[in-house]
Amino acid sequence: MRIVDLSKSFGDVRVIDHVDAKLPERGLIGVSGASGSGKTTLLRILAGLERPDEGRVEDVPDRFSMQFEDDRLFPWMDVLANVTLVGCDDAIALGILGELGLADKAHARISTLSGGQRRRVALARAFAFPTALYLLDEPTARLDEESARVVICAVEARSVDSLVIVATHDQAMLDRCAMVLGCESR
């Protein structure tokens, strides 16, 4: 996967400025930068949800998974149904929820979860959609230290066989990345 001379502006603010990068087939890649620096925009461009003003992204896998910046969970389904929405069976979803410390929340309503629990359910849904590319936007946001550690382990585990691109402020997560792309808006 290659990012070629990518630029994107919102009004007068240039959030991505001529970014070039060659990304490996697997591994953990970080996208760092202050709030509003374009991390989410970069992930959205990689996902094809946003068009760049200039440049292009080459060789993006057809099928990829994403954890959005906002959780985008659906209150008319319980936790398990939110995860199996992507097409996996219950056993796989329950395994992922267990891995992220949410085994006892499988049948909970979304409205009863804390912010950190919702974040992990959104991550579980992304993991339940097996692909060669995971785009994760702030997976450790709103998490306590222990939950963040669990999430970092789970993310690292996926990066063994897949390319995982993580937009994050979390230094512990960035320390584990093989490559970090810096974002800075102007």
Partner 1 sequence: MFVVLALLVWELVALCVGAPYIVPAPQDVLVRGAELIATATFWQAVGWSLLRVLVGFACGMVCGIALAVPMAAWPRVRAVFAPFIKVIRTVPVVCFILLMLLWVNATWLSAIISALMVLPVAWTNTIEALDSLDAGTVEVARVFRLGPMRRLFRLYLPAIAPQLLATAAVGLGLAWKSGITAEVLALPVLGMGSNIYHAKIALEAADIFVWAIVIIVLSLAMESALRACAARFSGWEAA
Instruction: Give the shortest CB-115-to-partner 1 separation in angstroms.
Output: 10
Strands 2-10 and 54-58: antiparallel
List of E strands, the chain = 2-10, 13-22, 27-32, 54-58, 65-67, 133-137, 163-167, 179-182
Residue span binding partner 1 (CB under 8 A) among the ranges 8-16, 61-69, 143-151, 175-183? 61-69
Sheet containing 65-67: order of strands: 65-67, 133-137, 163-167, 27-32, 179-182
Q: Return the SS3 of 139.
A: coil
* Shortest reach from residue 62's CB to partner 1, in Å: 9
Q: What is the closest distance, in whole angstroms, from the C-beta atom of residue 96 to partner 1 in the complex?
A: 14
What is d(CA 56, CA 19) in angstroms, rounded to the nearest whole number? 10
Least Å distance, CB 74 to partner 1, is: 6
Alpha-carbon torsion angle 113, 114, 118, 123, nearest 10: -120
Give SS3 for 22. strand
Q: Of 58-66, 149-157, 166-174, 178-186, which segment contacts partner 1 by CB under 8 A?
A: 58-66
Which alpha helices (H) appear in 28-128, and where do they start and end? 39-46, 79-84, 90-99, 115-127
Q: Is 129 in the site for partner 1 (CB under 8 A)?
A: yes
Q: Considering only residues 13, 34, 49, 160, which one is a binding residue for partner 1 as defined by CB under 8 A?
A: 49
Asked whether position 10 contacts partner 1 by CB under 8 A, the answer is no
Q: Applying CB under 8 A, which part among 31-39, 84-92, 150-158, 167-175 lies near partner 1?
A: 84-92
Minimum Å gap between C-beta 60 and partner 1 is: 12
Q: Could you list the residues that contact partner 1 (CB under 8 A)?
A: 47, 49, 63-66, 68, 70-77, 81, 85-87, 110-111, 118, 125, 129
